[in-house]
Amino acid sequence: MGLHHNRSKRGLSTVVTGVIMLSAVAVLGTAIVAWSNSNLFANQQILSTQLAINVNKIKESVKIENVWFQSSSPKFVNVTLSNLGTIGVNVTEVSFGNHTSTHKTTTITNGGILPGQTWSYKSVNYDWQNNSTVKVSVTTARDNIISTEASP
């Protein structure tokens, strides 16, 4: 005796449905993957940029090396900065004051300091007082603020 195998019968709709599903999935999937990749790439760029900014900010190393006061007229304060790091520094602002207030702030336009070099700034007519501590603050383009205190 033999059993008669029932043959599966797939109708055409199944095939078509499969093809349609495959196509849709392929298209949809491809779109999703593409979108995902572009999104990921954009995030990578942002991350890279942020990394560079922060790393440079960390790498920036500036020190106020010397401050001296001229007493004869015209009075001034001379500040010398030294770039101790491995990247260039751009000084954007120098200010003088004390613990409680800032007396004078000057915007600097030519404050570039190459690595290993020094840069001096003379604040003319700043009326410093004998035996009074002067707080000197220097701001760089990378928003690092370097401060020191000196007294005549």
Partner 1 sequence: MKSRRGLSTVVGTVFAIIALATVITYVTYSMNTLQQFNQEVMVKNTELIDQGKEEFVISKAELANNQQFNITVQNTGTLPIKITRLYIENKTDGGAYKYDINKDVPTGGLATKIGQNIGFIVDNTRSYEIKLVSERGNTKEVLMGQANAEPLDLQLHVIPSKVPSDFTTTVILAVTNNMSSKTTLLNIVPTISESGSATVTKLTPDPIPPKYGSLASGDTAFFKWNYKVTGTASQSKTFTASLNPSFPGNTASDTVTLADVSFSIQSGTSVQSTGLTTAKTPDNILILHQETQDALTGRQMYSGAGDNAITFNSSSTPTLTFFTKNDTQQNVIVDPGKWNATLRIVSNAVPDGLNAPDIIYHFEDSGSSVTDSSGNSRTMTVIGGASNSGSNGRDSTKAYLFDGISQYLDGPTPLTSADNIRGPNDVTAAWFKYTGTQNSNKKVIYRVGSDNTDYYEIAIGDGTAPNAGKLIFRFNTASGQVPPSPTGNCVQNSGRVDDGNWHHFVAFRDGSYTCRLYIDGNNPTGTEIDLSVCSSGCGATNADWVEPVGKANIARNPANNLDFFKGYIDDFFHWNSYSGGFPQNKVVILRDTNYGANAHKFDFKFERVKADGSNPQNIQTNTNYPVKFWDGKGSSTAWSGLDINYTTPSLPSWTFAKINDVDYGDRLKFTMTWKSGLNMSLRIDDPGLTNPITSFISVPKVSEAFPSYYTYSRATNPLLSIYNGGPYGSWITCLTRAVFDDISSTNSYAGALWYAGTVETCNKNRPFSNDSTLIKVGGTAQLKFNCPMLSPDSFAGQVTSCPSGTAPPLGQYRLYVFLSGYDETGNIFLRTTYIGLVRVVA
Interface residue list for partner 1 (CB under 8 A): 18, 21-22, 25, 29, 32-33, 36-37, 40, 43-44, 47-48, 51, 54-55, 58-59, 61, 63, 65-66, 68, 70-72, 78, 80, 82, 84, 118
If the CB atoms of residues 28 and 98 are measured against partner 1, the closer one turns out to be 28
Contact 129, 115 (CB under 8 A): no
If the CB atoms of residues 55 and 124 are measured against partner 1, the closer one turns out to be 55
Half-sphere exposure of 40 (CA within 13 A, CB side): 6
Q: Which residues contact 89 (CB under 8 A, 6 or more apart)?
A: 60, 62, 83, 111, 112, 113, 140, 141, 142
Q: Shortest Cβ distance from residue 135 to partner 1 (Å)? A: 18
Q: Shortest Cβ distance from residue 100 to partner 1 (Å)? A: 27
